[in-house]
A and B are shown apart, each in its own frame.
Chain A
């Protein structure tokens, strides 16, 4: 069974700290890897998508990397802010157009 694991489940950091969220997956036949943000009681907001042929993607203070050989992806957040507090989900796509397989998320709390 294809699985996606996110560790830790929760993370608390002071404002300004750089941090890394981890995502690991079984089966290297990955189509793409997508990172989402979810605020409490809200839907999912797509942050970054890395195609299987890519190694990383960047958007503002966010950088996501993909290492298929080790089955890992990381989301790097630079200079964290209280507004970054949310749950971050990673999800892998296995075949064009089919469903994403989600991790259970890492809940980030950034204190001012």
Chain B
């Protein structure tokens, strides 16, 4: 299995509080992604990173920010959590473009916002 660790694995918090999810990889892959998975919607991209300090928005980026200060870590922050952000969040990694290699996923973080 690809070396991807997501933390925390489960979190319950209240509306309006800030939340940070962490994704750590040991594969030295250039690309990292944050997806959310919701019933009826499938997986949707929130943000992705194509290198240290290089990030871009995905389909559902509103209310989320990301940071990548090291190759191995990609952080997802909910500045002020809302109930609509209750979801399962997955981190994924992939190698450089042209390698045409699969994306590999972490085990997910189940986030509940009350």
Q: Is the CB of A34 within 8 A of B42?
A: no
Which residues on A sit within 8 Å (CB–CB) of B74? none
Q: Is the CB of B42 within 8 A of A97?
A: no
Q: Which of B42-82 contact A (CB under 8 A)?
A: 42-45, 48, 50, 58-59
Give Cα A91 to B42, complex, Å: 11
Give Cα A99 to B55, complex, Å: 12
A to B contact number (C-beta, < 8 Å)? 57
Give the A-binding residues of B (Cβ under 8 A): 30-31, 33, 35, 40-45, 48, 50, 58-59, 90, 92, 94, 96-98, 100-108
Given contacts A46-B103, A104-B41, 17 further A-B contacts (CB under 8 A): A42-B107, A44-B90, A49-B100, A89-B43, A96-B97, A96-B98, A97-B97, A99-B35, A99-B45, A99-B48, A99-B58, A100-B92, A102-B43, A103-B42, A104-B40, A104-B42, A105-B42
